[in-house]
Amino acid sequence: MSAVIKIGIERSKIGDILVDEDGADIFVFNLNSNYIIQGLSELTRFKKSNIEKIGINEVRKRKENFEKFTIIVSSMRIDNIVSELVYCSRNKASELIEEERVLVNYETVLKNSKVVEFGNIVTIRGKGKFIIDGLVRNTRGDRLILEVRKYA
């Protein structure tokens, strides 16, 4: 990422960067690709690298690693779930939501009362990305034990 910024491209001008053990795939619009290839090729740390332009269908399939765990929440509201995912108070979770650092299915959440559904992807900028897989069971106190996967 820092190399792309070093050649003068703003982060907002590129898409995802998929990093792998032996390189990375950077998603950009075709009109930026030649400039990025040339700029990266001129950087010392990429002199021995093979930098090439490929089509979207040629992007390497990335093996996704997950860490599985459970959380216990009183409801499926986003503030409850964020609080448990990042081990913070609900007030701190509300601050993260107000700062627009919380997304559900890649859309920014604006209200603490948003209800999360099973299968939703919850992204907390600076903290991680999580999939809410489903209900394991209810506790005696009628709280919910949820199975969650965190992208590793």
Where does the chain have alpha helices with state H? 2-6, 30-42, 78-85, 90-98
Give the mean pLDDT of 25-42. 81
Q: What angle do CA 152, 99, 103 make, to 5 degrees?
A: 45
pLDDT of 124 over the 80 cut: yes
pLDDT of 30 over the 80 cut: no
State the Cα–Cα distance between residues 140 and 145, nearest whole angstrom.
11
H or E segment and range at residue 130: strand 128-138
When the candidates are 3.40.366.10, 3.40.50.300, 3.20.20.70, 3.10.290.10, the CATH number that belongs to 66-151 is 3.10.290.10
**pLDDT band for position 86 (50/70/90)?**
very high
Instruction: Give residues with Cβ within 8 angstroms of 129, minimum separation 6.
Output: 121, 122, 123, 150, 151
Encode pLDDT of 44-83 as tens digits.
888 888 888 888 888 877 677 899 999 999 999 999 999 9
β-pairing verdict for 66-73 and 17-20: unpaired
Q: What angle do CA 130, 112, 67 make, to 5 degrees?
A: 10
**pLDDT band for position 125 (50/70/90)?**
very high
